Amino acid sequence: MAFLPICKQDMIDRGIEQLDFVYITGDAYVDHPSFGHAIISRVLESHGYSVGIIAQPDWKDDTSITILGEPRLGFLISGGNMDSMVNHYSVSKKRRDKDAYTPGGEMGKRPDYATVVYGNLIRRTYKKTPIIIGGIEASLRRMAHYDYWSNSFKRSILLDSQADLISYGMGEKSIVEIADALNSGIAVQDITFVAGTLYKTKDISGLYNSVMLPDYTSMKEVPRKYAESFAIQYNSTDPFTGKVLVEPYPNGIFVVQNPPQEPLSMEEMDAVYALPYERTYHPSYEEKGGVPAIAEIKFSLISNRGCFGGCSFCALTFHQGRTIQVRSHESILEEAKLLTEEPDFKGYIHDVGGPTANFRQPSCEKQLKVGVCKHRQCLFPQPCPNMKADHSDYLKLLRKLRQVPKVKKVFIRSGIRFDYLLADKDDTFFYELVEHHVSGQLKVAPEHISDAVLCRMGKPEKAVYERFVKKYYEINKKLGKEQYLVPYLMSSHPGSTLKEAIELAEYLRDLGYMPEQVQDFYPTPSTVSTVMYYTGLDPRDMKPVYVCKNPHEKAMQRALIQYRNPKNYDLVYEALVKAERTDLIGFDKKCLIKPRRFAAEKVTLGAKQTTSKPTGKQMSPKGTAGKPGTRSAQGSKQAAPKKKKTIRQVHKKK
């Protein structure tokens, strides 16, 4: 095994005079199957194509993309494992301090809108060389879209990047088909037949069974038309039922999207993850301390792809689709054995999962024959009667992993869909999850507790979460465990007014819990929630939705979730007055805060105690405790109050 070429000397050492493809990526070069550039380059290599990597080129220097010469077949571009704007900015549009995908965590090694910048950088030097863009940034910006950071409605990234094709989704099948077409002598302008791609053209006379979307100009002028367009796109993400979509632009240009590539079979998934990855970052990064992102995935196992959960704020439907794709037990066990041979392996597998850990099969048998339902979700608003909730295969896999020599513990951290778990009539997996796979605390994502907000989020009702919480603690008690739940919560999601935000605060009050981390809703490209944020309409039913856009109101909604924090007092007070809920200001146990005079005394007292050593843990639901983990780059962390009740004190009170 060896890393792919990153310089001319590497090409000489391999006897390569001209590379078939040069891959430009906004991330550091990490040859691990959790990184898109690693998978695509290794897949091409396995099909006989030579690939070189230019990681994080200096976009201010045109020669930075010429160091490997002109490729024989084309340039490949990816902005990285995250959209470059999410990577760079918090939801408040403040520049982040660190980039986990860059050596040493250094910020500023890639440009904003990286895919567009890299595409134009290449096109200035290589006028005719084919450019194929892919990755999460290109995939989610493939059609006209709302861009939160510029607060504007942007064209397809295919046009702005000057690329010839977009390979959207995961792309293993489409990139090989593109490579074979180019290698056979087909001009890139004539590659219009590959599933999972977009191309631009002025001639659509040969299209069959296509759907014409609203044109870009009208969508830009009338946001409602964008909501209508998105609804069509959202219902065309299945490879079996998806249509060819056509988006018109000025000057007679059309962007044409072919249906998605077909899901990988188990054998194909196994083959992708069996490729000869080095499984770490390039050694040239060692002097800077390596690439921080490797720590999160080095001892984790990817077992599946796709998600039929249908969360409105998640882009998985657009990127990986709703059909679950899985690896075999043998493939995952083989990778687990490789992990145990690493010198720094301590006996712990950090995660076994994917977008949703406990999805190991399609939601119903019908999907394998005719695809997913267009106008119906599998879990929302209620589980579909045809859905088959079954954890038996996942359970067998976890049992096998627990028996691998040198493995002490196997954790699940990538997310459990609790409503799917409850839908399984067999509790065996639930019991073994609690007994063997929770590292002291289980992180779950109810997101909110107001049904009015949850319905816009595509999440189950509050009552479902409460049933899960009750059952979780009952099982812990039966097993003699003292383990906790850490609920992830989101503020300011479309549909949430101050009324719903206060409702959430009251729920947390009754639990005796204040989360250390809160995620403010982040409008990222190509999600249902982002369409709501931009248009004020839910594209699923075209009904008006309240949208909190005012930064001050967003701060109030976020502060209400952490109402106990003295730093948030003024915002919470203002929110309660504005919502006419001053009944929650006082000394009663149902009140959230005390009147100003007494609160001021408390803040002064707290200031005097800041030098004291903090004790205890953050309180969790049902009087338990847990240390909140890091959810994503979009979380906002605030200081917790210094005085906390201990676990024992809370249990006694209960």
pLDDT in tens, 353-375: 999 999 999 888 888 778 888 87
Q: Position of tokens 């970052």? A: 281
The percentage of the chain sitting over the pLDDT mark of 70, rounded to a whole number, equals: 91
pLDDT at 318: 87
> Final residue of a domain: which of 170, 193, 216?
193
pLDDT band (50, 70, 90) for residue 600: low
Strands (E), 232-368: 244-249, 253-257, 280-281, 300-302, 304-305, 325-326, 348-349, 351-353
* pLDDT, greater one: 647 or 377: 377
The percentage of the chain sitting over the pLDDT mark of 90, rounded to a whole number, equals: 82
Whether residue 633 is contained in a domain is answered as: yes
Whether residue 241 is contained in a domain is answered as: no
* pLDDT, greater one: 609 or 298: 298
Q: Which of 105-119, 219-233, 283-297, 353-367 has the lowest mean pLDDT?
A: 353-367
- Mean pLDDT score, 506-516: 90
pLDDT at 366: 84
pLDDT band (50, 70, 90) for residue 380: confident
pLDDT at 652: 35
Whether residue 549 is contained in a domain is answered as: yes
Q: What integer best gives the mean pLDDT of the chain?
A: 90
> Final residue of a domain: which of 193, 210, 244?
193
Total domain count for the chain? 2
What pLDDT digit, counting tens, does each position of 323-333 carry?
999 999 999 99
Whether residue 632 is contained in a domain is answered as: yes
* pLDDT, greater one: 612 or 75: 75
Whether residue 284 is contained in a domain is answered as: no
Q: Is the pLDDT reported for residue 316 higher than 70?
A: yes
- Mean pLDDT score, 502-530: 93
CATH code of the domain covering residue 153:
3.40.50.280
Structural domain harbouring 620: 464-523+542-654
Whether residue 566 is contained in a domain is answered as: yes
- Six-digit token string for 355: 């977008």
Q: Is the pLDDT reported for residue 184 higher than 90?
A: yes
How many Å is the maximal CA-CA distance in the chain? 79
Whether residue 275 is contained in a domain is answered as: no
Q: Is the pLDDT reported for residue 77 higher than 90?
A: yes
- Mean pLDDT score, 109-118: 98
What pLDDT digit, counting tens, does each position of 557-592 carry?
999 999 999 999 999 999 999 999 999 999 999 999
Q: Is the pLDDT reported for residue 618 higher than 70?
A: no
**Partner residues linked to 74 by β-bridges:** 21
Q: Is the pLDDT reported for residue 345 higher than 50?
A: yes
Whether residue 278 is contained in a domain is answered as: no
With a CB cutoff of 8 Å and minimum separation 6, the contacts of 389 are 383, 420, 421, 423, 424, 425
- Mean pLDDT score, 522-539: 97
pLDDT at 608: 45
Rounded-to-integer distance, Cα 643 and Cα 605, Å:
11
pLDDT band (50, 70, 90) for residue 425: very high
**DSSP per residue over 438-496, as a string?**
-SSEEEEEEE-S-HHHHHHHT---HHHHHHHHHHHHHHHHHTT---EEEEEEEES-TT-
| Helix, coil or strand: residue 65 | helix
What pLDDT digit, counting tens, does each position of 537-551 carry?
999 999 999 999 999
* pLDDT, greater one: 642 or 563: 563
pLDDT band (50, 70, 90) for residue 597: confident
> Final residue of a domain: which of 193, 211, 241?
193
pLDDT at 611: 38
pLDDT at 517: 80
- Mean pLDDT score, 156-160: 98
Q: Under a CB-based contact definition with an 8 Å cutoff, are residues 358 and 307 in contact?
A: no
pLDDT at 599: 56
